[in-house]
A and B are shown apart, each in its own frame.
Chain A
Amino acid sequence: MADEKLVPTVCPYCALGCGFYIKLEEGGTGIEYMLDHPTNEGALCPKGNAALEILSHPDRLRFPLLRTEGGWKRISWDEALERLAEEIKKTIKVHGPGALGFLGSAKCTNEENYLFQKMARLLGSKNVDCCARRCHSPTIPALNRAFGAACMTNPISDLENSGCIFVIGSNFAENHPLVARWALRAKDRGAKIVVADPRLTPTTWLADLHLQINLGTDVALLNGMMNVIIEEGLYDRKFVGERTVGFEELEEKVRGFTPKRAADITGVSTGAIVRAARIYARSPASAIIYSMGITQHSHGTNNVSACADLALICGHLGRSGAGLYPLRGQNNVQGACDMGVLADFYPGSVSVNDAEGIRRIEEAWGATSLPIGMGMTAETMPVAAGDGNLRFLYVVGEDIVNSDSASSRGRKELANLDFMAVQEIFMTETAEMADLVLPAAAWAEKEGSYTSSERRVQWSPKAIEPPGEARSDLSTIVRLANLLGLPFDYAGPEEVLAEIGKMVKSYAGITRERAEGRGGVIWPCPFLDHPGTPILHRDEFCAPQGRARIVPVDYLPPDEERSLDYPLLLTTGRIGLHYNAGSMTRRSISLMKRAPELFVEVNPQDADRWGIVDGDLVEVKTRRGEVWARGRVTTRQEAGVIFMPFHFPQTNTITSDVIDPEARIPEFKVAACRIGKMKGV
């Protein structure tokens, strides 16, 4: 057709960075597959296929809204931004900048996130964070300590070259479906796939060996495997000797962790543990894929360290087919972290305690006293709001009310704020609580760069106009900053990207033109002609002396155990048809048709014991409260464990709020609970 136009775009859902075209033609927009994209080769998961459904959705926010006694009142942008600036100034004057909180968005572009944290820090607040806190915050300290770089080591398509893919705590077949494409291709070429997961999932369907471990016993399994590998001499002596430190301590630590002991804790047979260890260690190149099943624990940082240790002792790093794959959750969570939208890091992974590094940033920004030290995190901001230490909160593109653990408590705490502004595309439950709601452009309605899980920086051009008066987050942030007296002067996102290149070394060679090319550029890209670095740690690690650090860890049980009152364990996760807190996918007709409501999976033995039949409404109660969900009786998990997806608001009101001491991530994955059939239904 002559009057149709194809605009390339990057999928707004998970962090794989799949490409497709938005087809603009008379009467609507459609999807055209991008067959030459290096990650997805045209294919899309159901969420990607349905991505356009949210764009012209009737629920989209179209105008700035101010809360008044008579309900929401439509106001002009000028009024809205002036009011917001006034509230910020007032808070600084009365309570100091430490009472300001800023939550950036792993769904926004690099440029928007960079300016957001720059604004917050120039105002003197160190309380900048984003939802990375709830997914991969343990990955950051653990992998920084181990490798000196907290990110995926190899590109997704490189899985094709693996001889063994060891999956622990990831259900990628549902949550990152395009990973399955490459894992299956490796399998076609003879690779073995080993999956450790307490549940049967579409990912375990494709496993050669499934280790159905008890909830939260990952370290026991990994230490047991490392015991076998060291005892049987299967570790890579050369790699360990030349490229790592700390092996002796690990050897000491795992000596007592016999396969028998690991089997007792994990609930899988010693034979299976030995087999898994041998398959992983012996294959010429083995990859480890992990995700929320590893990180969302009260000892998430230890879990990540144990994964890194396994890769290090076997030398499965720094070459094709090997590597460690922390699969990130949101389309730009890697980018938001790189941009320093984290309470513990400035842009370019400069620690908030690194006075010298911060001094260099002050010079670049023309600032005098940027805040030093750890700020409040996404998890501690609501608590501080409850205590009165946080008075103002500015949230961009996050539904914190639904994604926090024990979220009903968080709701009460947020109500204590003097002022909350929320910048969103939909009226989420968080926005419902705000004093001011600013309508934002969705991904296809603005331009900028996104960094995928594989560190691929891709430019996503604007395809269509935002609805009503909705605006790009970039223009909103710049205008607000100007009202606050900050000299933000950028002609467009490409100028912001140029500044990012000066602040973040690994982005130095990335320009708009390069990011616009098919598949963009994979960082580190330290200078303009640099081709990008798909595989990290080839010759040396970014750690001292170029050597990786092996960090031995102890096994710690999950915080909550079964008891007489709470005889079952609840674990949570995702399903293929929904995404995170669901503010987008629960508005998508073709996805809702296929997955319409919250369900709870119960093993038949437990169902018998508590008189539950498939399809019953089931009450699930934990120490934090109770919710209702449609019961599904299935052997997908063993007796004693129940599963609920967290895409519907109820789930996170009852999950555990115990946090990892270092990464401060809540233990979403294990909560003691009890169930019962809803009476009178």
Chain B
Amino acid sequence: MKEILVRPERCMGCRSCEIACAVEHSGTKSLLSAVAEKPAPRKRVYVEFVPEYAISVPMACRHCEEAPCVAVCPTGALRQDEVTRVVTHSPEACIGCWTCAAACNYGMIGRDRVERVAIKCDRCPDLEVPACAAACPTGALVFKEVEEFSEAKRVESALKMARGVAAGGSR
């Protein structure tokens, strides 16, 4: 199962993902109409700047295996797919109690100002690659299997270590 995974060290804070997400979730999914849409379409991915470290981190819903938001939702508006584990939200069933926002560790629950219900990442069901990951210029957001993701990180880390060993050996 592919997940939206984050490589914060690659994030340049450009917020391309936020714009791509808002457009994908606008009524028409088209930018021209999306900007004119009232209210403006809401994004579901957030780039947080951490001033102490001068680093930006893209934050996307983790679609947790044991999702706390789903566990606490009193109406079943938040549901988790049994196979893909994607957590989706149906605005019709939502009563706007915000228990999910309290339970989420990552602050991934937003608020639809007009419908006054929760709003969250649906992992772009119509797209092969979610809009945020497709738009990201640097690959800070990737849509990959966890195994594949970790392997790539292992290979990079091993390379660095190998270079260290080689440098030490030649001294």
Contacts and interface: CB of A to CB of B under 8 A. Distances in A.
Interface string B19-40: 1101100001111110100001
A205 B55 contact: yes
Residue of A31, A49, A174 ringed by the most chain B CB atoms within 10 A: A49
B99 interface: no
The interface size bin for chain B is 35 or more
A45 B16 CA distance: 5
A28 B36 CA distance: 11
A466 to B, nearest CB: 14
B137 interface: yes
Residue of B10, B23, B137, B138 ringed by the most chain A CB atoms within 10 A: B137
A49 B28 contact: no
B12 interface: yes
Interface in B70-120: none
A44 B135 contact: yes
A25 B30 contact: yes
Interface in B133-148: 134-139
A52 interface: yes
B68 interface: no
B12 A29 contact: no
Contacts of B18: 46, 594
A599 to B, nearest CB: 14
Given A33-B135, A205-B55, A45 B14 contact: yes
Interface string B122-154: 000000000000111111000000000000100
A46 B29 contact: no
B135 A53 contact: no
Nearest to B141: A43
A284 interface: no
A187 to B, nearest CB: 9
B40 A589 contact: yes
Nearest to A177: B137
The interface size bin for chain A is 35 or more
Given A43-B136, A177-B138, A49 B16 contact: yes
B35 A589 contact: yes
Nearest to B163: A190
B15 to A, nearest CB: 5
B54 interface: yes
B159 A42 contact: no
16 contacts: A43-B16, A46-B15, A49-B31, A50-B31, A53-B31, A53-B32, A178-B137, A188-B156, A189-B159, A202-B56, A205-B54, A206-B12, A576-B12, A577-B15, A594-B18, A636-B54
Interface of B: 9-10, 12-16, 18-20, 22-23, 28-33, 35, 40, 51, 54-56, 134-139, 152, 156, 159-160, 163
Given A48-B16, A173-B14, A576-B15, 10 more contacts: A29-B32, A40-B137, A46-B19, A49-B16, A177-B138, A181-B139, A184-B138, A203-B12, A590-B19, A590-B35
